[in-house]
Amino acid sequence: MVRTPYGPVRGRHEHGISVFRGIPYAAPPFGTLRFKPPVPPEPWDGVRDAGAFGPTPPKPSYSEAFAQYLSDPVIPGDDCLNLNVWTPEPMPSARLPVLVWLHGGALTRGSSAVPVYDGRKFAAAGIVFVSINYRLGVEGYGLFPDAPANPGLRDQLAALEWVHRAIGAFGGDPDKVTLAGQSAGAISVGALIAAPQAQGLFRRAVLQSGPPEAFERDKVRRMVRRMANRLKIPATAEAFAAIDRDLLLSTQAEVGRLSSPVLGGPAFGIVVDGDLVPRDPLQALVDGDVAHGVELLMGWTRDEYRLWLVPGGLLERVDRMGPVALAGAMARCHCGHEVPRGYRALHPEAGTAELVGQMVTDKLLRLPLRQLADARPGSSYVYEFAWPSLRPGLGACHALELGFVFDTGETPESAKLAGDGAPQALADAMHEAWTRFVTTGKPGWEAWGTAHPVRVFGEVGGGREALDGVAHEAGRGKAALSGVGKPADGRRTEAGSGPHAADRMAHTAYGLRDRELALWTAAGAEAVAPDEPVDGPAARDPLLGRAARRAELRSAVRRLRRAGGVRGR
C-alpha cells in the first residue's frame, strides 16, 4: 500500500516488482469537464485497489489492415485519466530514477494498457516506471472557439505534475525524471520539453520516431469542421459535447480514413496556443530558449514508412503510380524536383514507394531530430534501429523497436510486428542502453557532435530479401546484434574491447543518412544530383521538371489518398 495525494492505493507483487495500475491523476473528463483542461480527482476514502489497468480514453479501433500488426486494448469507463507505476522498492528512502512513458498512436489511438509497454524490466533494473493515459482525437486535440486548445497535452502535464508530487512515495526521485515517448508520444515529449509550465519537471527526454512539432491550426480546424458537417452541428465544443460518444468516434474514424503520415490528410495534432505551447516547439528548442541542460536520446527506424504503406497493399499501389506518387511526395514535403532526383541517385535500385517513404520520413522526422541534435551537441545521443522484422514486407518499420526497448518480445503483441523468434541479444542491447540513459544520462555511445555519431541497432547483412521476412543468419550473432555490423553507408566499424565495447561503438562520419538529409539544402542536392541538360529526364518528365504545377501536385496527393484509404501512425 502506498499513499498518494488523493488517497492510499493497494498494488500487487508481480515477479518481485510492486505494480500499481489505474491510479487517477485527474478527474474523469466528461460531463461538465468535457473538452476542458484537466482538474484534480476527488480524494477517496479507504484504500483504492490498483490491481488492474484503468479505463482507456475513447478512441476508434484500428482498421483490419492495421489490427494485424498493432494491439490496442479497450477498457470501458469514464475515469480514463489514470496512470500505472512499476517500482522495485516502494518506499520514500529509495530515491530511484524515474521513467515516464507517453504512448504513440497518432494522438487518436493507443493507451498505457498495451502489453508491449509493460514496465517490469525497467523496474527490475532499478527504475520506477510510470505510464499514463491521456485524451485522444477530437476529445484531446480538437480545436474549438469555445474551449482551450491541446487538452490531451494538458493531461500529460497534469500527470507529470502528479509524478513530481507523488512519486517519492513509490520510491522514485522527482529530481531524476526522464520523459519518454514514441511517435505521437515523442511529439508530445517535444512539446512538453519546450512548455514553460513543464520546466523543472524532468531532466532527460527520449524521442523515438517523433520530432517536436506543432500542427497548422487550419489543418486541425478542417478536421473539426468536416466532423461537424457530417454530424450537422456547429463546430463548437458545446455542440460536440452533446453528441453520443460512439457516434463521435465513428465520425472521427470516417473523416480520418484517408489520412496517413506519408500521404497527409486531415488529422489532429498539437497546435501553438499561446499558453502551454507559446511557439513552435522545435524552434524554441533549437533557439535554446528553454530546457537548458535537458539531456536527449532520440532516433528513428530505418524503414519507418513501411508500417504506413504495407498494411492494405498501399506499398505496391504507390510503386505502380510512379511519377504521380513522386509528385505527391514533393507536395507533401514542399520540395522541388531536385530532391526526388537526388534520392534516385542515392538509391538507383529502389522502387517508387521506397523513395517516397524515405523522402517523407527524412523531411518530417529525421531532419527535425537532426536539427535538434545539431543545436544541442554534447548532450544529445542519436540512434537508428535497423533490424528487419520477420513479418513479410515490414523491414525495420515504425514502432518495431518498442518490444526491444521494453524487452517484451515474449508477448504476442510484440510478435505481431516482429514475428516469432526475435533476437534476445538485440533486446538486451537496447534495453540496457535506455536503462543507462535514464540512470546516468549516457546510453553508451558518443554524444552528437561534428562526427555525427549514430548508434545503429540490429544491422544485418542487407539485401531486399530481408524485407520479405527472410532471416539473415550472418547478421544473427550476438556481436552483430549488439553493435558490430555495418553502418548505413556500408563501411564496417570495429568494436573495441571490454564488456560494453560494442555498445560504446558508434557508427559515424557522413554515411548514407547524411547524404540523404543534405538533399534538403540546395548545395546538398546539387552535390548528389547535379543539374541535367535541358533534354535530360527531368525536362522530359513534366511531373519532375520545371513544368510541375501546384495543381498537378495537389491532384497527385488526392489520387494517392484515394488509392490508399488507410490510416495509422
Active site residues: 183, 304, 398
Positive/negative CA dihedral, 166, 169, 175, 179: negative
For residue 485, CA distances in Å to 322, 461, 482, 507 come to 33, 8, 9, 9
| E strand segments, 104-143 | 128-132
Helices (H), 412-451: 412-418, 424-440
Count the Cβ atoms, other than its own, within 10 Å of residue 516. 23
Name the residue type at position 531. Answer: D
CA–CA separation, 37 and 155 (whole Å): 7
Q: Which residues contact 232 (CB under 8 A, 6 or more apart)?
A: none
Listing DSSP states for 348-399 in one string gives TT--HHHHHHHHHHIIIIIHHHHHHHHHSTTSEEEEEE-PPPSSTT--S-TT
Query: What element of type H or E holds 86?
Result: strand 82-87
Look at residues 387, 372, 541, 357 and name the one whose alpha carbon lies nearest to residue 458: 387
Contact in structure between 291 and 197 (CB atoms under 8 Å): no
Name the residue type at position 100. Answer: V
Instruction: Give 454's strand partners.
Output: 382, 507
Instruction: Give 456's strand partners.
Output: 384
Name the residue type at position 240. Answer: F
Query: Would you call 490 helix, strand, or coil by DSSP?
Result: coil
CA–CA separation, 317 and 59 (whole Å): 29
Instruction: Give 301's strand partners.
Output: 385
Could you give the angle at which helices 323-333 and 314-321 cross, rounded to 10 degrees?
A: 100
Q: Which phi and psi (to 5°) does residue 153 adopt?
A: -70, -35
Residues belonging to the chain = 569
Look at residues 420, 406, 417, 318 and name the one whose alpha carbon lies nearest to residue 67: 417
CA–CA separation, 416 and 545 (whole Å): 42
Q: Which residues contact 93 (CB under 8 A, 6 or more apart)?
A: none
For residue 405, CA distances in Å to 88, 125, 277, 356 come to 19, 13, 29, 28
